[in-house]
Amino acid sequence: MDAIERYFPGLTPRQKEQFASLQTLYADWNAKINVISRKDMDNLYVHHILHSLSIARYMRFAPGTHLLDVGTGGGFPGIPLAIFFPEASFVLLDSIGKKIKVVNEIAVAIGLANVEGVHSRVEQERRKFDFIVSRAVMAMPQLVKLVRKNIIAEQRNALPNGLICLKGGDLTEELKPFGSMAETVALS
């Protein structure tokens, strides 16, 4: 939690309380359902929450922005971003029902009214969003093909609508088909 406050000193008391609650909630749920690698639970704030919030260091979502988190798993990056951007709305999508149960329960427990967990595949999602976010879900060409239909044309943020992915490694070949349409930002 200290790392989050160090990188994001302007958090409201409510946001601090919501972030602080996540350790216990995820530990309790992880004991029942393997949502996060058990050996990684001690690193929840740095490896999962702070990593998810790296998007907030790069991007500010305007009030009313609609985001889709594809392959959210246990709610990353969606839940941390929903806490950070309470005036944006988030649909957290995953094909594994038990993970969406955890997402919905955690959202309710910390009072996130801007989160909707959906048990489905992205191929079935028809709604439109300003941004699609994901965290190392699949190769970019495949992901772009699946979510292109879900990106609304009308822009309400400083940056154009599109896809924001948290991925590691050398992405040169993976991004080659997109040319200048793809932008990479080093987070470390």
* Domain contains 131: yes
Give the integer Cα–Cα distance in Å for 51 and 49.
5
* Domain contains 187: no
Which pLDDT value is given to residue 188?
60
* Domain contains 28: yes
Angle at 69 between CA 52 and CA 38, to 5 degrees: 55
Print the domain residue range for 150.
2-181
* Domain contains 123: yes
Q: For residue 173, give the H/E element and its range.
A: helix 172-175
**Listed residue (77, 182, 185) closest to 133, CA to CA:** 77
Which pLDDT value is given to residue 187?
65
* Tally of domains in the chain: 1
* Domain contains 188: no
Which pLDDT value is given to residue 38?
81
SS3 assignment, position 145: helix
* Domain contains 67: yes
pLDDT average per 10 residues of sequence, the chain (188 residues): 92 98 96 87 92 93 98 97 98 97 98 98 97 89 94 92 86 74 70
- The rounded Cα 24 to chain-centroid distance in angstroms is 20
Which pLDDT value is given to residue 39?
82
Which pLDDT value is given to residue 34?
87
Which pLDDT value is given to residue 92?
99
Give the integer Cα–Cα distance in Å for 33 and 177.
38
SS3 assignment, position 134: strand
Which pLDDT value is given to residue 32?
93
* Domain contains 176: yes
- Global confidence as pTM: 0.93
* Domain contains 106: yes
Give the integer Cα–Cα distance in Å for 100 and 6.
30
**Listed residue (127, 129, 123) closest to 143, CA to CA:** 123
Which pLDDT value is given to residue 1?
85
CATH number, domain at 36?
Answer: 3.40.50.150
Angle at 16 between CA 12 and CA 18, to 5 degrees: 115
